[in-house]
Amino acid sequence: MTTAVDWKTQIEDIAGPYDGNRKGWLSCAARRASVTYRQIAGLYYDQVKDPKFSVASSVLSAAERARIEATRKEAAVLASRFAVTAEGLNAKDPDFFSAEINSLKYAADLLRQMART
C-alpha cells in the first residue's frame, strides 16, 4: 500500500507564509530543503509524480524541521502569555490566586523547556 504525499503542503510548510512573490517563495523552500528551484517547482506544480528518493527525503525532512520550529515558536509565545497572566494575577491578589499563579508558572516553565529542546 502506498500513500501519496501532498507535496504542495510540504513545500508550503518549508517556505512559510506566502509573501506575494511565488518564485522567491519557492526559491526559499528550495534553499531550506537543499534542492534546486526546478525540483521544488516541479513538485509544487504537480509536474513530477515520482521524485527521486534524495529529493523526496530532503523535502520531507525540511518540512518536518519547519513544523518542529513552528511548534517551538508557538510554545515560547504561549509560555510568555502564561507568565504575563501569572504576573497579572499576582499583582491583583496573590493569596486568592496562588494556585492559579503556581499552575501558570509551572506550565510556562514546561513550555519554555519544550521550546529549547
Is residue 57 a part of any domain in this protein?
yes
% of the chain with per-residue pLDDT over 90: 91
DSSP line for 72-107:
HHHHHHHHHHHHHHHHHHHHH-TTTTHHHHHHHHHH
SS3 label, residue 38: helix
Residue 51: CB partners within 8 Å, gap ≥ 6?
7, 39, 42, 43, 59
How far apart, in whole angstroms, are the C-alpha atoms of residue 84 and residue 90?
Answer: 10
67 occurs within a structural domain = yes
Q: How many domains does the chain have?
A: 1
Q: Is the pLDDT of residue 16 over 70?
A: yes
What is the pLDDT of the chain when averaged over all its residues? 94
CB contact set of 100 (below 8 Å; sequence gap of 6+): 86, 89
Tell which residue, 37, 27, 68, 34, has the closest CA to residue 54: 34
Residue 101 lies in a domain: yes
Q: Is 2 part of any domain?
A: no
In a domain, 33, yes or no: yes
Instruction: Record the cell numbers describing residue 3, joined without a space.
Output: 500513500
Residue 81 in any domain: the answer is yes
Write the pLDDT tens digit of every residue in 70-84: 999 999 999 999 999
The answer to whether residue 1 sits within a structural domain is no
Q: How far apart are CA 14 and CA 31, in angstroms?
A: 10
Residue type, 111: L
The domain in which residue 52 lies consists of 7-116
Inside any domain, residue 95? yes
